[in-house]
A and B are shown apart, each in its own frame.
Chain A
């Protein structure tokens, strides 16, 4: 069933692209409506700044508009759009010399070997804790080097495959896999530290 839905969605998207190429602006607006929320949230998570996010959103769709003719369909349209957006986000992060440097990720079997494993059992609905935990997670994601953050977001939030991420970020598939793996372990360790601190404080 999902496959059928995917096939239909891809067909609809092809029609929209054809419409855009014929100069039908309504088709372009419908295409934007499909992706703008995803791109805006991706940019917010990459840069944590609404002004940066809206600039990235605008630059992305201007580039999509200008270059749609060059899009040949070898990659999926979504991968192509993510590639433009991710490139804009990475350029912006690297250009901003005032941005605090992200952490260097250490090998999981290096310095972190002695970290305890915490078993996190959620309490029944605890909104305050969920909010605090969310903030902690946002902080931890922001500490990731930008290409690790990008690979993690494209994989675990946007649901792209490793191959799609490799195309979107101009990395090899093994490099993508390594970044996702280390990002996940880093975030997990940050949360473990947070929970361990909470336990000591109680």
Chain B
């Protein structure tokens, strides 16, 4: 990536642009408002750049890989739910609360977690 510095602008039109930025990106503004912002963008390179970089941020994050559910986790999830289902065979899903306490947990009751730098 290369970067180019453009100082952020602060005219009333630019502030309005930044205020309505998300609605503009989501195409949820009234067409007249959207058109007035497009007119402003055409004449204001810093705002154009700002909008483009917000959109790019979203696209970059969307491109983060999606992981598959680990096979063991999928298998255990099905086993746990099947066990619950079979513990009350005459009860359809949504009516079964019996045997709730007997259901195996994926992970035993969690111990307090150590403080890990960088973990959300």
Contacts and interface: CB of A to CB of B under 8 A. Distances in A.
Contact of A21 (B2, B64, B70, B92): B92
B119 A62 contact: no
B92 A62 contact: no
Interface in B16-68: 18, 21-23, 25, 28, 46, 49-50, 52-54, 56-58, 60-68
Contacts of A141: 61, 120
A41 B70 CA distance: 11
A65 B81 contact: yes
Contact of B119 (A24, A49, A187): A49
B106 A36 contact: no
B52 A46 contact: no
Interface residues of A, number: 79
The size class of the interface chain B forms with chain A is: 35 or more
B48 to A, nearest CB: 9
Chain A, interface SS category: helix
A129 B1 contact: yes
A155 B10 CA distance: 28
A32 B120 contact: no
Contacts of A98: 112-115
Given A44-B67, A138-B64, A70 B2 contact: no
Contacts of A123: 1-2
B28 to A, nearest CB: 8
Contacts of B114: 98
A121 B49 contact: no
Contact of B94 (A47, A65, A181): A65
A29 to B, nearest CB: 7
Interface in A17-71: 20-25, 28-29, 32, 36-37, 40-41, 44, 46-51, 54-55, 57-58, 61-62, 65-71
Interface string B69-89: 110011011101110110001
A108 B85 contact: no
A82 to B, nearest CB: 16
Interface string A62-97: 100111111100000000000000000000010010
A119 B94 contact: no
Given A113-B8, A119-B52, A196-B3, A133 B22 contact: no
Given A120-B53, A142-B120, A99 B22 contact: no
Contacts of A167: none
A91 B92 CA distance: 28
Contacts of A68: 93-94
Interface of B: 1-8, 10, 15, 18, 21-23, 25, 28, 46, 49-50, 52-54, 56-58, 60-70, 73-74, 76-78, 80-82, 84-85, 89-97, 100, 103, 105-107, 110, 112-115, 117-120
**9 A-B pairs closest in CB distance:** A69-B94, A142-B120, A23-B92, A68-B94, A181-B22, A20-B93, A119-B4, A118-B3, A117-B6
